[in-house]
Structure 1
Amino acid sequence: MTDTALELPAYARSLGITATGAEEGGMPVLTVDFGNMVEGRPQHFHGGATAGLLENAGYAALRTALLAGGRDPQLKPINITVQYLAAGKSQESFAVGRITRLGRRNANITVEAWQTDRARPIATAVLNILMVERSPDQNSPG
């Protein structure tokens, strides 16, 4: 799976986020290397970059599930809550989303980000997303 297939937004690409694989069940794993674009205090991930990784992983999981079901609605955030659990160090970070509820108009997603040990996340997030069906004349999001 590539970030092109997922159509990651410009913000994700500017941070260097890419899709590096998929978990069992097909949920994409997103990765970002440590560098100037994500550094906050010296040798640590910026909290906003960590939140950006989490948010993009949540949207990637939802988009993957929707496209597999033949749906392509416009996604609008209702609420995104991030919990910072540990400082992200100067190394590669990973994130994956898991859909906890997928309805006709709303979706709930949990996301976790980690570095060396999946069992020790550096941050988690909960996303509540409104899904609005597109009219036939609307183009895909760019």
Structure 2
Amino acid sequence: MDSTPPSPSLRIANILRQVRLTGEYHLLAEAIPYARFLGIGVENTTGEVLCRMRYAPMLIGNSSIPALHGGTLGGLLESAAIFELLLRTQTDRVPKIISITVDFLRSGRPQDTLAKATITRLGRRVANLQVQAWQEDRSRPIASANALFLVS
């Protein structure tokens, strides 16, 4: 019997099938080391896929304000786009980013941050998404992004 662990892409495909069947969205975020490191989780409590980045002191970039580091917000926005594509399309592979443009709109306070991605165009090979991140008030985003991904 072969004891070789499955390839990362096969592991993700198996997790995606399980998440699509059971609705256990947290399994997807736990399978991606970068999302785990940043404390990003996937939720679907209101019928829409949301990402939550749980606050941790390591996420602070400017301790004199204090404000969340822009790189962590960019990571949240990118992760939200990837999870949206994985859960709303039939792909079994993690989409590859082509480009992302992030707009930082206001300082992120030391608290949980939510993000929601919306697919604006889905072609055979390329997907366009818009993503917004907010804290207490969804109508007052702290960052937004336009992203372009290669999908298979």
Residue 15 of structure 1 is matched in structure 2 by 38
Rate the CA distance shift 1:57–1:23 in 2: closer, same or farther, 3 A. Answer: farther
Matched, 1:53 2:76: yes
Matched, 1:100 2:104: no
Unaligned runs of 5+ in 2: 1-23
Q: Which has the higher contact order (CA 8 A, sep 6+)?
A: 1
- Measure, in 1, the Cα distance between the counterparts of 2:144 and 2:31: 20
Q: Give deviations 1:95-129, integer Å, cap 9, x for gaps.
A: 01000011111100100000000000000011101
**Percent identity at matched positions?**
39
- Secondary structure of the structure 2 residue equivalent to 1:40: strand
- 1:37 Cα deviation after fit: 2.7
Contact 1:30–1:57, Cα closer than 8 Å, also in 2: yes
The runs of 4+ residues in structure 1 deviating greater than 4 Å are none
Question: TM-score scaled by structure 2?
Answer: 0.76
- Measure, in 2, the Cα distance between the counterparts of 1:108 and 1:114: 20
Q: Which among 111, 114, 120 is matched to residue 134 of structure 2?
A: 114
- Measure, in 1, the Cα distance between the counterparts of 2:52 and 2:114: 4
- 1:2 Cα deviation after fit: 2.5
Identify the structure with the greater helix proportion: 2
Rate the CA distance shift 1:34–1:74 in 2: closer, same or farther, 3 A. Answer: closer
Residue 138 of structure 1 is matched in structure 2 by none
Residue 76 of structure 1 is matched in structure 2 by 96
- Measure, in 1, the Cα distance between the counterparts of 2:97 and 2:151: 9
Q: What number of residue pairs does the alignment pair up?
A: 127
Contact 1:29–1:96, Cα closer than 8 Å, also in 2: yes
Q: Which among 43, 50, 67 is matched to residue 29 of structure 1?
A: 50
In terms of mean alpha carbon deviation, does 115-124 or 4-13 score higher?
4-13
Q: Give, as a single letter, the amino acid of the residue that structure 1 aligns with 2:43.
A: T
Unaligned runs of 5+ in 1: 133-142
- Measure, in 2, the Cα distance between the counterparts of 1:107 and 1:3: 24
- Measure, in 1, the Cα distance between the counterparts of 2:56 and 2:29: 23
- 1:44 Cα deviation after fit: 1.4
Q: Give deviations 1:21-44, integer Å, cap 9, x for gaps.
A: 2554xx410111221231111121
* RMSD between superposed Cα atoms in Å: 1.7
Residue 126 of structure 1 is matched in structure 2 by 146
Matched, 1:87 2:107: yes
- Measure, in 1, the Cα distance between the counterparts of 2:27 and 2:58: 20
